[in-house]
Amino acid sequence: MAAPAARRRPTEVDRVRLERIFNAHHVTVWRALRRRGLSPEAAEDATQETFLLAAERLDDIRPESERSFLIATALRVANTLGRKTVRWELDEDMDQRLAAHRDTGERRADRQLCNLVLSKVDPELVEVFVLYEVEELTSPEIAELLAIPLGSVASRLRRAREQFRTAAARVEKTLHREGET
């Protein structure tokens, strides 16, 4: 069996690159892990793990593929934790809490709104939706990342949008009825 040569010792150049990609992408990675249902603390650990794995593979990561590589690695890490189902983190009573919390700060309210609406999107679809609409990955990148055909990306995205817009419209109607808008 031909064994690959042992990896070289990391250099300062590597450290600088890791620092750059950490600062550019760690939030995206963390979010990807949260979407897999990890708690904030577990997502923090798994984000570290993702970047540690990236650090060992820096030579293999093309600069234009750093984000895709990191998200793909994060998803693998999540899989090792048994988190294969995508879901948006949401408290069970968010529906009730939404109205109660709408005056506690717009930012917080928006986050709750976000959780509420995205939780209504089919778990099988929400990841494609968020990767495309929020993280702004391209369809080919998503297809490669999730190992699904490009056509599946398109169809999932289309269905996700329909669900997203339906859920958003329903929430908007509720809020309107409650007098927020």
User: Segment 63-92, which members bind other proteins (CB under 8 A)?
Assistant: 73, 76-77, 80-81
Of 111 and 177, CB closest to other proteins: 111
For the segment 29-68, give every residue that binds other proteins (CB under 8 A). 30-31, 34, 38, 40-49, 51-53, 55-57, 60
For the segment 108-147, give every residue that binds other proteins (CB under 8 A). 110-111, 113-114, 117-118, 130, 132-134, 136, 138-140
Give the Cα separation of 29 and 40 in Å (integer).
Answer: 12
* Minimum CB–partner distance for residue 96 and other proteins (Å): 19
Of 46 and 86, CB closest to other proteins: 46
Phi and psi based region of residue 10 (left: phi greater than 0; alpha: psi -120 to 50; beta: remaining):
beta
* Number of residues lying near other proteins (CB under 8 A): 72
Of 3 and 147, CB closest to other proteins: 3
Of 39 and 96, CB closest to other proteins: 39
Report how far apart, in Å, the C-alpha atoms of 164 and of each of 31, 44, 63, 143, 144 are: 18, 28, 33, 20, 24
With CB under 8 A as the contact rule, the residue among 15, 84, 97, 177 that binds other proteins is 15
Any idea which residue has 């550019």 for tokens?
A: 24
Give the Cα separation of 55 and 15 in Å (integer).
Answer: 8
CB-count burial class (<10 Å; 0-12, 13-18, 19+) for 117: buried
